[in-house]
Chains A and B, each alone.
Chain A
């Protein structure tokens, strides 16, 4: 099974800061990588799909990059409403199989 290593596990930043989260796969997953945001008590929300594509309606301050085994999620200018836990998710189509990273809890400094 493919393992996903997400870091850091928690992060404290100020409003306006650039925030970066990384996710590393245990083997080459091409660009089969999604990013989600989860606020307390809510279901996760898809932000980025296929490593770098912004889901419809998601603010452009969110972005993703990478391919192969190393991926990065970036918030260009942190806003108060971005406080949440962020997860990467690897997927495989044959068969349909998914693995989540451990999550990064983002807090305001």
Chain B
């Protein structure tokens, strides 16, 4: 069965970086894209960006350009999202999601990773 398993919760200081992993199993990793979505406490869903696991092409949300990098390791079927220069308003649950190439919907999601930014 398809699974996306994310790394554990992180606590970071303002200005630091965080790297969240998303290990995929149960499907051919390179046949799908991965998107990253975050959700601040009590708030809605915010799209952060997308990466093709096939060729590594990326597209990031404009507001995060320059601070976010998404990568994949096809040898381990793992996607990564790194966010730099963390601020308190980056405190959120971060999700990875598989992107169905046919319908472009997010058909499987990771369990979420809470990143807390606090001094």
- Residues of A in contact with B (beta carbons under 8 Å apart): 1, 32, 34, 36, 38, 43-46, 49-50, 53, 55, 85, 87, 89, 91, 93, 95-103
Q: Answer whether residue B27 sits at the interface, using C-beta atoms and an 8 A cutoff.
A: no
Closest to A101 in B: B44
A93 contact set on B, CB distance < 8 A: 104
Q: Is the interface of A mostly helix, strand, loop or mixed?
A: strand
Chain A contacts for B97, CB-based, 8 A: 43-44
Chain A residues with Cβ below 8 Å from B62 are: 1
Residues of B at under 8 Å CB distance from A?
Answer: 33, 35, 37, 44-47, 50, 52, 59, 62, 95, 97, 99-100, 103-107, 109-112
How far is A102 from B40 in the complex, measured between Cα atoms in Å? 13
* A93–B44 CA distance with the chains assembled, in angstroms: 23
Q: Are A55 and B59 in contact (CB under 8 A)?
A: no
Within 8 Å CB of A102, what residues of B? 44
Do B110 and A50 have beta carbons less than 8 Å apart?
no
A50→B103 CA distance, assembly (Å): 7
B50 lies within 8 A of A44 (CB)? no
Is A55 touching B107 in the complex (CB atoms < 8 A)?
yes
Q: Within the complex, which residue of B59, B105, B110 is in contact with A49, where a contact is CB–CB below 8 Å?
A: B105
B23 to chain A, nearest CB (A): 15
Instruction: Show 11 residue pairs from A and B whose CB-CB distance is below 8 angstroms, ordered by the A residue.
Output: A34-B104, A44-B97, A49-B100, A49-B104, A50-B103, A89-B45, A89-B106, A96-B33, A97-B59, A100-B37, A100-B45
Output the residue of A85, A96, A99, A101 with the most chain B CB within 10 A: A96
Q: Tell me if A91 and B104 are in contact (CB < 8 A).
A: yes
Q: What is the distance, in angstroms, from B2's C-beta to the closest C-beta of chain A? A: 12
Interface core residue of A44, A50, A87 (most chain B CB under 10 Å) = A44
